[in-house]
Structure 1
């Protein structure tokens, strides 16, 4: 009886001992994680299962799910977990490919999605995408993303194409509409005076997918498709429009607690940077985080167990990761003090330091970290944080020493400091520029690009230039409807800096790609055409002509779909804008000149 108690309670296993045993090197479970003793006990059983000579298919599924949970608890991706899981996943993939009778169709779908979640944890998006597609086939997901005419705002007069989900094969029968579950997280409304709560489709919508007819596996697949789109098209200006149809379909189903919560959090993640959506993102993420922690939850604890169904296959994040999302949204809204409290409870000290920095209270941050170092002098990460605060490289070196040269964050921070001591080293500036682009600090990226040009160590990097230009234009479009004058002024400043950079590159006779030339043109385009902006508008048209000439000069463009689309889109846009200029000049001769200079317009 004593042995049975050992394996079913935390009486004989301390939480601290469990945390130590589940830590790999410097990679420890999140400070906010709870009941680690249970996972520690499970680890022993899973290890015995792995070491057995004949593991059953059900045993392989248990091992996969255990390691997935363990990885979700850790702060960083753990290579040893990936190594241990690779042979397990190979066996499971083989069983699924052979349609092994040990698993039902739904179980095969869930296993495929759980393996996709593993690859997602290690940023292996291509492998995850392959498994998501196989899972979609396994559960017979019959969907396609297409456009239908509709309205997005209350005052919209003309209908325009809106992305919606439809049945790919209308001949396949659709299941009955299932009622919503009683225990489900509430979906918050936008409550916006301009945007509609949902897109109003004006044409026949019978082909649209109704989430209430989908199975849990199909709903989970929709979630993963949206998640993959968001991860792999992070800088796409239309990413919100591309992902929303999938998430809205899942949310409309109002079934399965974990799936609904995951969909609501994914929607909040998409909306956190959008002016008219960010308020809902804040309220929604706060509601889900409270339910995950059992705060203000009207359902008895004993009745919450069914919520764990599909929790791994749908990719619901632990509550501390959801809390980080809430903190990010609060900071974007200027509620930095509230975000600070959340991050302090989670013991995410780098986020705490960033909040103190925004509040102009770095002295408090330093006091906090020094107190923590006094309590845990051998914690290398605390020395890294102190180095970030004081900008003293000695603390990074101390962290490297304490960690046995295994603290990657210390090396990275020390590399930022290298700018002070290796000002003339082009590789340092190269890394700094790419890092600035990754974190969205485009003003710093532009300055780094100028520095590389000064050293004659940089040509025209079309990918970087196009990405920065697109993000500036996207941000400009997002804040155009808002009254945040400070944000508008900041974006305008970055836009002007980017125009100067592109002008400098062009002046150096460096060849720019058609896409970069087009981005340069769009940055230069005046918002309105009038007598004062006519000259700038004509310069914009000249750049657009160069863009068209650059892509048209590739003789293979009629045979390559992407190039052909780029040629047509650029030509049509150029033609429309030249017509606009011609009408402004009000000259019949000008109109004829436009048609003559754009032969694409006269073709049927």
Structure 2
């Protein structure tokens, strides 16, 4: 085949990216046929590899030697590309799709130790990972600028390699994230994405990359593009149905309504799919029985991959609760019941196992299903397993085993779980099991045994956790060359657990400086900084945490607190806006938002907050906030946006109507309600104001002992004086009949108050005496007004 034909090269690149060809295999080069047939080991042991790569293995700088060879052998660029693809897919087979192959590529495995150190990025790769030299070889080949200039797909394969690299690391790497994000920006500009199938596929893979790093907004962006290109529309709708065998009354159940506004993307069917095990429960049905007709839409694999990615997106962006579970189940059900793609079926069944692992009626199926899936991973390799693998969100083999161990622990099979944890080198979980078995000393013994065989940074950190000996952290720090974020994290969390926050802060801070994508460290650093009143550090830590994890209302709330301490109330207000989005039912957050809103003049938001607090709590009294709001509306003070606050008069009256129905016995609230009603300046509202003033007075004197203490007496006198002024003010816009009734009521009320107070010894106190004199002045004024009215009649 003439590889100088660029169109032919593009077609071959496309075939390799999607893992199958729609044309006859006879038209393909033998190396491409081998890759599509999953003959990866044979490809890596081919004459080309033995002649051009094997001699370079002994070189001191293997990576540089490879890049130089690619540059020098331009006529063999396609062979280099295919070798990189075979290498990465063989790595996927051994660590994701199975079966794991014990035999190494002998000529390549000699660089394993050096490769591990390079791939670790100052931390550590997962110890269960197999054949890391395959990933390293692939990354090296795809990073060749010469290859990238010839084959656009080379950048895409490098992106895929980085996606795998992110998964095998014990800690997510900021360096790898920045490098991969830069790759994404380059790939979206390439001509290769003019193909709508490839454009959809790449944006799905980018979605999974951002989900790995919990970048919710970025993942939403790329998922939306994939949706739009595929013209796929999904909507959760309700239909009547039954969920249990003995259910008499049908209830609304969720199902996924799907519509595709274009011809489906091509795909091929895998004939040897993993099975979804039956529930076999004596109560629950295998699946919801809908009484209404539920339309089913036939989809192909790429459309199904979009649906599965949507499941992952919703799962990571919403709080972990039963409502979220109910929302994401229809997406999984759609894939499980319909897909003919191996990777999508494995991934969706795995996700269902996770959902069902916390429910007593489904945990048994969850365990059986995950055991079955592990068996499927060990089945014979087929080329079909790689179809859409990078867009499936499929977990590595060791994570399936980890899930099984967790399930065993959940049902009380501690020793069985312990054995699995030991085999998977999950020392944190080993410590948990030994603690449950009351053999915590064994955990330290096991870790010391491992250290004697091969000391690692992780093992020394875990020994420090198990023995509470900070010397272990110091040893780990030195072993890492003072570059491990893990060491500083463990060290800082040790002090954090002891509430020695001043000692924890330096270690936690250094940990995030070494690796800035550690949500659990940022949030603890923020809390520790709050405790030692380092407001600037607290604000920085919580701000960074909220960028990584946007669904924690506590973090947003604490960020607001730190901003307030720094005097930045505007930023605090924005943080609290995000906090209420995360937890709509926490009244304390609404109260904080209300207080900051009143300070900043967001009066419309104050009204919204108070309504929501009343809906949650049933009653709530904050006279200070209400007083400021009332004054703003009555005096027409400009709000934060420079708008008139008088426009909120009707909404404020509605708030007081809601409030007085919940809190009927607060005189201050009734008085403010009266003031607002009087501000409308209509005859009807003046009458309402008078009624509200009377309610205020009754509430004030409802306590029969109000006049027996100085504070109680002064409070009622202040209110009576204010009420007298309000009565006089309101009566000026009334008819004579209304005025007589209003002032007559005021006269009786004030006379009663004056008499009660004058009969007490407290009358001799200066402030109380002065208040009584002022009230008597208002009383005389009221009497004169009444006399004038009577004269006129």
TM-score tier by shorter-chain length is 0.5 to 0.7
Question: What is the alpha-carbon distance in structure 2 between the residues aligned to residue 217 and residue 176 of structure 1?
Answer: 7
Distance change in 2, residues 1:80/1:163 (3 Å): same
Distance change in 2, residues 1:59/1:548 (3 Å): farther
Q: Deviations over 1:179-212 (max 9, x none)?
A: 9743111101222222211112222323xx44xx
Deviation at 1:14, TM superposition (A): 2.2
Q: 1:182 is paired with a residue of what secondary structure?
A: coil
Cα pair 2:265 2:300 within 8 Å, conserved: no
Is 1:135 the counterpart of 2:226 in the alignment?
Answer: yes
Q: 1:70 is paired with a residue of what secondary structure?
A: helix
Cα pair 1:58 1:102 within 8 Å, conserved: no
Question: What is the alpha-carbon distance in structure 1 between the residues aligned to residue 584 and residue 333 of structure 2?
Answer: 36
Note the 1:360-379 alignment, pairs <5 A: 360-377=438-455, 379=456
Note the 1:180-191 alignment, pairs <5 A: 181-191=270-280
Q: Deviations over 1:367-417 (max 9, x none)?
A: 11111111223x221111111111122212222232233333332332333
Note the 1:448-487 alignment, pairs <5 A: 463-464=553-554
Partner of 1:384: 461
Question: What is the alpha-carbon distance in structure 1 between the residues aligned to residue 216 and residue 210 of structure 2?
Answer: 7
Q: Please, which of 6, 23, 29 is the counterpart of residue 125 of structure 2?
A: 29
Cα pair 2:240 2:251 within 8 Å, conserved: yes
Is 1:338 the counterpart of 2:427 in the alignment?
Answer: no
Is 1:271 the counterpart of 2:356 in the alignment?
Answer: yes
Is 1:347 the counterpart of 2:347 in the alignment?
Answer: no
Structure 1: segments with no counterpart, 5+ residues: 432-437, 440-447, 453-457, 468-512, 520-540, 575-604
Question: What is the alpha-carbon distance in structure 1 between the residues aligned to residue 585 and residue 621 of structure 2?
Answer: 9
Distance change in 2, residues 1:357/1:234 (3 Å): farther
Question: What is the alpha-carbon distance in structure 1 between the residues aligned to residue 280 and residue 622 of structure 2?
Answer: 47
Deviation at 1:102, TM superposition (A): 5.9
Question: What is the alpha-carbon distance in structure 1 between the residues aligned to residue 148 and residue 192 of structure 2?
Answer: 21
Cα pair 1:113 1:221 within 8 Å, conserved: yes
Q: 2:389 is paired with a residue of what secondary structure?
A: coil
Cα pair 1:116 1:128 within 8 Å, conserved: yes
Question: What is the alpha-carbon distance in structure 2 between the residues aligned to residue 192 and residue 465 of structure 1?
Answer: 41
Q: Deviations over 1:108-161 (max 9, x none)?
A: 111111112221222212101211111122222122112222222222222222
Note the 1:124-163 alignment, pairs <5 A: 124-163=215-254
Q: Deviations over 1:424-455 (max 9, x none)?
A: 86998xx9xxxxxx99xxxxxxxx99x98xxx
TM-score scaled by structure 1? 0.66
Question: What is the alpha-carbon distance in structure 1 between the residues aligned to residue 369 and residue 621 of structure 2?
Answer: 45
Question: What is the alpha-carbon distance in structure 1 between the residues aligned to residue 132 and residue 265 of structure 2?
Answer: 42
Partner of 1:244: 329
Q: Deviations over 1:482-521 (max 9, x none)?
A: xxxxxxxxxxxxxxxxxxxxxxxxxxxxxxx9833599xx
Structure 2: segments with no counterpart, 5+ residues: 1-46, 55-82, 88-103, 509-518, 521-526, 532-537, 539-551, 558-582, 590-613, 634-638, 640-646, 663-793
Distance change in 2, residues 1:78/1:356 (3 Å): same
Partner of 1:529: none
Partner of 1:81: 176
Two-structure CA RMSD over aligned residues (Å): 4.6
Question: What is the alpha-carbon distance in structure 2 between the residues aligned to residue 514 and residue 306 of structure 1?
Answer: 45
Note the 1:276-425 alignment, pairs <5 A: 276-292=361-377, 294=378, 297=379, 300-301=380-381, 304-377=382-455, 379-419=456-496, 422=499
Is 1:516 the counterpart of 2:586 in the alignment?
Answer: yes
Deviation at 1:423, TM superposition (A): 5.1
Question: What is the alpha-carbon distance in structure 1 between the residues aligned to residue 449 and residue 429 of structure 2?
Answer: 17
Deviation at 1:55, TM superposition (A): 4.8
Question: What is the alpha-carbon distance in structure 1 between the residues aligned to residue 149 and residue 584 of structure 2?
Answer: 59
Cα pair 1:18 1:40 within 8 Å, conserved: no
Cα pair 1:19 1:29 within 8 Å, conserved: no
Cα pair 1:518 1:544 within 8 Å, conserved: no
Question: What is the alpha-carbon distance in structure 1 between the residues aligned to residue 467 and residue 413 of structure 2?
Answer: 25
Aligned pairs, number? 466
Partner of 2:286: 197
Q: Please, which of 51, 58, 61 is the counterpart of residue 3 of structure 1?
A: 51
Cα pair 2:184 2:206 within 8 Å, conserved: yes
Q: Deviations over 1:206-252 (max 9, x none)?
A: 3xx44xx1111111111111111111213333111010000000001
Q: 1:129 is paired with a residue of what secondary structure?
A: helix
Cα pair 1:465 1:516 within 8 Å, conserved: no
Cα pair 2:152 2:192 within 8 Å, conserved: no
Cα pair 1:32 1:346 within 8 Å, conserved: yes
Question: What is the alpha-carbon distance in structure 2 between the residues aligned to residue 369 and residue 426 of structure 1?
Answer: 26
Q: 2:321 is paired with a residue of what secondary structure?
A: coil
Distance change in 2, residues 1:385/1:107 (3 Å): same
Cα pair 1:185 1:260 within 8 Å, conserved: yes
Identify the range of structure 1 (240-249 vs 31-40) with the bigger mean alpha-carbon deviation: 31-40
Partner of 1:227: 312
Higher helix share: 2
Cα pair 1:22 1:28 within 8 Å, conserved: no
Cα pair 1:19 1:28 within 8 Å, conserved: no
Distance change in 2, residues 1:253/1:548 (3 Å): farther
Deviation at 1:38, TM superposition (A): 2.3
Distance change in 2, residues 1:52/1:179 (3 Å): closer
Distance change in 2, residues 1:362/1:426 (3 Å): closer
Q: 1:144 is paired with a residue of what secondary structure?
A: strand
Q: Deviations over 1:524-560 (max 9, x none)?
A: xxxxxxxxxxxxxxxxx9974227999x99999xx9x
Q: Please, which of 618, 627, 635 is the counterpart of residue 545 of structure 1?
A: 618
Question: What is the alpha-carbon distance in structure 2 between the residues aligned to residue 120 and residue 154 of structure 1?
Answer: 38
Cα pair 1:150 1:202 within 8 Å, conserved: yes
Question: What is the alpha-carbon distance in structure 2 between the residues aligned to residue 188 and residue 310 of structure 1?
Answer: 23
Deviation at 1:106, TM superposition (A): 1.8
Distance change in 2, residues 1:466/1:334 (3 Å): farther
TM-score scaled by structure 2? 0.52
